[in-house]
Structure formats: C-alpha cells, structure tokens
Structure 1
C-alpha cells in the first residue's frame, strides 16, 4: 500500500517533525540551559505548543531541565544518536589507522571533519603529544571559511557553487578571519593549485592549521587537518607537516576507494 503524501497525512504531523528537529538543533548549537521565553523568541513558535513539545522531549530524554524545571537543554539521547553516527560511519572507520599514524608522525593534533552546509563538523580527533595543544571535541561545528578543513573542502567546489553557498559577508572568529567572500574565493583558487589549505589563526589565535581534502568523492565531503601552535612552527616544521598530510591523503584515498 502506498504511503500517504504529507498533505494527505496532515500538515500538522509534518510541521511537528520539523519543529522537533529545529528545537533539537537550537539546543545543540547553544550549550547550556535556556528559558522557555528564550527558545520561543529564537524560534517563533506559539508558546503553548512549544511548551508541550518541550515537555514531550523531556519525557523521552531528548531534552533535559534544571532543578526548577523552567530551563531546558539538550538531553543525553542526543549524545547516544551522535555516538551511533560516528561508530557506524564507514569513512571514520577506514580513516582510523591513517589518523593514528599521522598523529604519531607529526606529534600534533589531528582532525577529520565533514562539510555540512556552511560548517564543518568534527568526526574524529587525535590529541597532540605536547603540553601546549589545542582542544577540539568530536561533534564540534565551526564555520567552514575560518578553518583549514573547511577551506580545503570549499576549494573542491566551483567559484559559483561557493558564491551560492556562502553570504557576501562572513563571520569573523578572530581578527585574521577572511570576512569577504570574494577574497575567500581568491584563496580557494590558490588552494586548488597547491593542494592544501592553511588557517592562519583565523579560527583560534595562536594556532595554525593545515588541511587537505580526502578525494573519495567530488566535490569532497571530508578533510583531514593538523593543528599546531604558532610558537612551535618553523618553515622546516611546516614542510614536514605538509608532506605528512599529502601522504595521509594518499593513504585515505586508498582506504576509502570502495566507499
């Protein structure tokens, strides 16, 4: 028997599903606890239906409340679903030996991330062996234009595709972030020529990152990077890291060729 269309099933069911996802994404992007008024102002839902939706999600474990039961935040079930995504992802599984080897070779922090709209989402991390090191958790989301991972992935798209994806003015995370889309596109052309991207303290002050796309599909969806505190960088060290990334890219291309 054919499934009913959204119109036949009733628009309220579809709207409820959309609101549920938007609500969970709101909490996921804003850590901490939020009042009903805060959430209602941000999402614009009727307060009564929003309250009922929140209470339902609290009962199901997707949303949690504080001791007063008046403030809300993301629940533990969201973590379980996120962990399931990572555990079941074929690229993450195939990349593990290469990420381990790259971390051992460079002794620096290594990331694997995926392009999701205008952001990159971190799928795997190997922490640096040094005392001075960056901290990035799996599941973190950052603007693609401010990271070497994101720029390496954006460079696999055409200029017109990038213009369609990104606004003319981009968010500044530090004083070094490129905030003009056309200036970013000029850098993406350079990245295509040399094969890797660099984040010059554009996401975190004092940190330089080198990123390279994993070419198992076109445009690329995933990239790997190496993050190094500027205080530890020398021209020779940069070259070592770039060479290690190119080698890792070739290994990843081989490991993901069947995906």
Structure 2
C-alpha cells in the first residue's frame, strides 16, 4: 500500500527513550521516565533493562535510576569523526579561534534546533561553554538564525515550532519579529545573537554555503563587556574569512574526486 512506511513500535520507543536521555542529562527513575513518555511501566522497564544490557543505558548503584550509556557516546563520536564538514572545518576553526581570541562553534540545523558539532574555547575564561552535541533552538542562536536566513519565510515557518522558546529576556519569541530579523540578516550578511541565548554573551554567525540550502554555520561568541563596534567588525571579517577557507577547501575536495 502506498504511503508512509509504518513505524515499528519497539524501535520507535527505543529511539524516543534515547532522545529523552539525550535531552535530560542525569539520572532518572522509572516513574519519572514513565511520566514523561507515557509508556506502560512493564514494557518500559523491559526496554530499559535491554538497553542496560547492551550498554546504551546505565544505572546507578541501586539499579533503580537510569541515564544515557557509554555506547551512545561511541556512536556520537563516530558521527563527528566521519563527518566531512567537521573534518574540513578543523583548520579554519583553529585559525578563527586564534585570530579572534574568542570561543567559536560549528553547528548544524536539525529540525528546529541547531546541534553543536565542533567548538574551540576562548583564551579567556568564559561561561557557559557549549559542548559538542549540545542542542539549542535555532531561533535563539546566531548559528541557527544564519541558517534560517538562507530559507524563504514559508520554509522558516514550516521549520519552526508554533511557539518559539524563550531562553532569556532578549529572546525573540514572536514569529513575525523573527522573520523581520531574518530579512535583516540577509541584507547584512551575518546573524547576531543579542544575548538571546545567554545573558551577557553576544554571538555572530554566518552560514556555510556547502549545501543547497545551507545546513551548517560557524559562529563566534564574545562577552558584552569586551565588545566594541570595531571589535564586532573584526570578528565578522574573521568569520567571513573562515567561511571562505572552508568553502575553498570543499571545492578542492570535490574537484579531486
């Protein structure tokens, strides 16, 4: 029969359970997981025990609290190690971090979020520090807004949730306001996170034109007290140079194939 291939219930529940652990770090009881996912406790317990035996889930010493297991880390690391964009971006990210002295990131759009694929730390002490694998709403980050700005308004509205999440008092939560912001980004050529993700931290980002439409972006974060208009322009110039380095390298790789 034509149409969508039906999901295998056990596989779907396994993926949803692993997604739950990925989005909720730390230890969780069976009751807590049941309350969040709604699966019958008997089948949930059996699924958890199977995943524990296979290394995808771990328990505490009592065996009653659960968290994500080592197997998930190994699979995630394999994704990073095998990703062409991550590999091609390494030298440019190293250069960008050295040139700016600030924290820089590479991230990829995944539905309505961005997922961090690579990070280089600032030479200054900086909190918070976005780790590889962290997921944030695209609408709250310079990375995400830079990627969204490469789409037209209709596609952006399809990507974004009906209710935009608020992370700080500066976060844009009105969809029309966000669309207006994306139009400004298209004209300006780069995105700005004005303390919309973390108060006290401003971020600048540009999309990488490696696919059509782009799904990756690089960014540079800087604490507001260190930011001046001249500093902003220097950072943006470095971001554009880093993007060009990555894109030139990709073109050479493609010609060599």
TM-score range, shorter chain: over 0.9
- Listed as ranges, the matches of 1:141-180 within 5 Å are 141-180=135-174
Where does residue 46 of structure 2 map in the other structure? Answer: 52
Q: Does residue 1:102 correspond to 2:96, yes or no?
A: yes
Structure 1: tracts of 5 or more residues without a match: none
**1:131 Cα deviation from its structure 2 partner:** 2.9
2:112 touches 2:161 (CA, 8 Å); kept in 1? no
Which of 62, 65, 72 pairs up with 1:71? Answer: 65
In structure 1, C-alpha distance between the alignment counterparts of 2:118 and 2:108, rounded to whole Å: 10
In structure 2, C-alpha distance between the alignment counterparts of 1:168 and 1:18, rounded to whole Å: 24
Where does residue 196 of structure 2 map in the other structure? Answer: 202
Where does residue 249 of structure 1 map in the other structure? Answer: 243
Q: Secondary structure at the match of 1:219?
A: coil
2:203 touches 2:219 (CA, 8 Å); kept in 1? yes
1:168 touches 1:182 (CA, 8 Å); kept in 2? no
**1:132 Cα deviation from its structure 2 partner:** 4.1
In structure 2, C-alpha distance between the alignment counterparts of 1:133 and 1:22, rounded to whole Å: 30
Where does residue 135 of structure 1 map in the other structure? Answer: 129
**1:168 Cα deviation from its structure 2 partner:** 3.6
In structure 1, C-alpha distance between the alignment counterparts of 2:77 and 2:194, rounded to whole Å: 31
Tell me the C-alpha RMSD between the 2 structures.
1.5
Q: TM-score, normalised by structure 2?
A: 0.94
Where does residue 223 of structure 2 map in the other structure? Answer: 229
In structure 1, C-alpha distance between the alignment counterparts of 2:196 and 2:225, rounded to whole Å: 16
In structure 2, C-alpha distance between the alignment counterparts of 1:121 and 1:6, rounded to whole Å: 27
Q: Does residue 1:89 correspond to 2:83, yes or no?
A: yes
**1:252 Cα deviation from its structure 2 partner:** 1.4
Please identify runs of 4+ aligned residues in structure 1 that moved more than 2 A. 131-134, 256-259
Where does residue 42 of structure 1 map in the other structure? Answer: 36
In structure 1, C-alpha distance between the alignment counterparts of 2:140 and 2:126, rounded to whole Å: 22
| Corresponding pairs, count | 250
